[in-house]
Amino acid sequence: MTDLHPDAVLSLIEGRHGDPFSILGPHLIHGQQVVRTFMPGASAVTLMSADAAARMELIHPAGLFAGATGVGPYRLRVDWNGTVEEAEDPYSFGALLGELDVHLLREGRHQDIGRCLGAHPMVVENVPGVRFAVWAPNARRVSVVGDYNAWDGRRHPMRLRHDAGVWELFIPRLRPGAVYKYELLDAQGHLLPMKADPVAWQAEPSPATGSVVADTARFVPPRALAGSGDLTNHPVAVYEVHARSWLRGDDDRVLGWEELGDKLIPYVKGMGFTHIEFLPVMAHPFGGSWGYQPLGQFAPQGSLGPPEHFARLVERCHDAGLGVILDWVPAHFPTDAHGLARFDGTALYEHADPREGFHQDWNTLIYNLGRVEVRNFLIGSALHWLEHYGVDALRVDAVASMLYRDYSRSHGEWVPNIHGGRENLESIAFLRELSEVIEARCPGKLLIAEESTAFPGVTRKARDGGLGFDFKWNMGWMNDTLRYMEHDPVYRRWDHGLMTFGLVYAFSEKFMLPISHDEVVHGKGSLPGKMPGDEWQRFANLRAYLGFMWTQPGKKLLFMGCEFAQLREWNHDRSLDWHLLDEPRHSGVQRMVRDLNRLYRAKPALHALDCDPAGFRWVVMDDADNSVFAWLRYGPGQSEPVLVVCNFTPVVRHGYKIGVPSGGTWQEIFNSDAGIYGGANVGNGGFAYADARPSHGFNASVALTLPPLATLIFDRA
């Protein structure tokens, strides 16, 4: 029983041995089965077989015990100086990951990596417990640590599956809810900071940084959203939400997923939005990053409740007819020592060269998408949220930073690609692979790009040479139109083209028009705060602008609080200012957004051809002196169009002549200057009559009263 090399014993008890199964567990020695176990601090260990109990011999004072038993199952009864525990021996179980799993992991093609790696409760040889698996190919030793082994990395060192660089271990009798981390020795034998599990399904609430064993075996994906699929020709009005600050409870308490759902879902449904988009819900160590520096790419943020509560929130959204979009960050990750940074002592997930691997703007590390294992990890994360949590779309953050190697870098601070160019070929290949995998495995699920450059083909299929996204945020439209609105109306004539330029390229991609959280943070103020003039004019400008946005080609996105004109800049540590709804000018904006959503969904002309140039025609685009714009939106087939007119000056214009495609009565179905919205009730009394006087290339025209700083919508009565 003591037939061990002293160096091997010393390596084991010092926590340096990379192959614990070669020493521990059952071994056949001279025809007899001998069991060894390392229990530092134990006063006695008894070997329990089906028909016998034998006290094991202490063969090293550090806590190495050995004993003989017959071939077959056995248990270890450990006396911790008066406290007795009994369980099966982790080192009596064979390799658990199948050869196919190992092969797919090595090739970077394991699309269910969330079920393969991480911590998973399961029954092995009729014994319940938890199987752990983690990728760390350059580590000398990896151990599971937690309260169950006093955070002692010598107690549960793992087995290395050399072909894939993956370490695994089954710990019998461990249950869901256990907190754990990994302890690693690098190749030089240096002890690294304890690491959270990159593929954990559950994380401790911050500021704690441990991973939690989730009950993955019993996890049931939420019910799907009815009618999900290609939304190109459907209304998409997205309400963007930061879960921790949408609404707080008493004493500024953060609402958990269940309580948040009780209030958020009926509100969003009642406002007429089609989707809720959450800022990243993935576990992140710093709340001030709003989730855009995540570490837990498979775990919802622990401070809002367990994973099953978030899954239930998704299902409740689906039951209410609301789609769920998650912001997802494959571009970079934080440098926290407990996270992915130099995970096994090497630049494993990130690039080694800081010119490729360090993001100067955000002080983060950039994923090395040239490694098949890293691409596999991220694609597995995307599939995890789409399949296991049933979310309907991922909005991919910071795509522009992924596409170009010189993004936000000066000359000499970046490494050209293999052709000497600036394009990041590895990231481009990754995004195409991501879109193709999702299209194949998750039909009907969508990818949305936050991409601010003119990179071609973002929403073209990957098989046709594009990146494969379904929609792209139109950042140019947002920047141009907000810059126009910030001008005093007397100066708007000089920047008239800011409101029309977006239509030059509006159909080059499938666009979403975003007024996101980025427009109300970092000193940018609030949406009404951007508007010029006195209080009345600021609110009138805002109402006119939202009317303009809702009637332009492109799907819609609005950040929380903007729908009722929150006055202060968004603060992620405070609730929205819901008390403002007691004031008519704020409740009026909210009511207007609700009515715009109703019209947008009810009128095919306002959404069905959002991505088709046949759905839009300018009527008035060159009246810079009066800051008036007019256009027609067309639906499919021979349906009558909708006419939209915007007056971006505080001057009432009487008898303003606009050409229309047909004579007769045109009904005024929306007026942002309506009294119920906080306006002055200037308008056309609900309708206008078009006669046979040609104008603007049409055989008929209508003379309208244009309210000040207002948007009007007409359709044929």
Q: List, by residue number, the catalytic residues.
A: 397, 450
Q: 664-671 and 628-633: which strand pairing?
A: unpaired
Contacts of range 620-627, beta carbons closer than 8 Å, 24 or more positions apart:
620/645, 620/658, 620/696, 621/500, 622/496, 624/493, 624/494, 624/496, 625/493, 626/651, 626/653, 626/656, 627/489, 627/492, 627/493, 627/496
The dihedral over CA atoms of 134, 137, 142, 144, expressed in degrees to the nearest 10, equals 0
Neighbours of 413 (CB within 10 A): 13
696 SS3 class: coil
Neighbours of 175 (CB within 10 A): 12
Distance CA 307, CA 450 (A): 26
Q: Is 464 exposed, middle or buried (0-12, 13-18, 19+ CB in 10 A)?
A: exposed
Measured CA distances, 293 to 240, 248, 331, 604, 615 (Å): 18, 23, 10, 39, 39
Name residue 399's beta-bridge partners.
Answer: none
* Residue in the structure block whose two tokens are 């332009």: 552
The two structure tokens encoding residue 37 = 């176990």
Q: Residues near 575 by Cβ (< 8 Å), separated by ≥ 6?
A: 245, 246, 247, 248, 252
Secondary element (H or E) of residue 49: strand 44-49
Distance CA 637, CA 632 (A): 15
Tell me the residue length of the chain. 717
| Helix 584-602 with 257-271: angle, nearest 10 deg | 70
Neighbours of 436 (CB within 10 A): 15
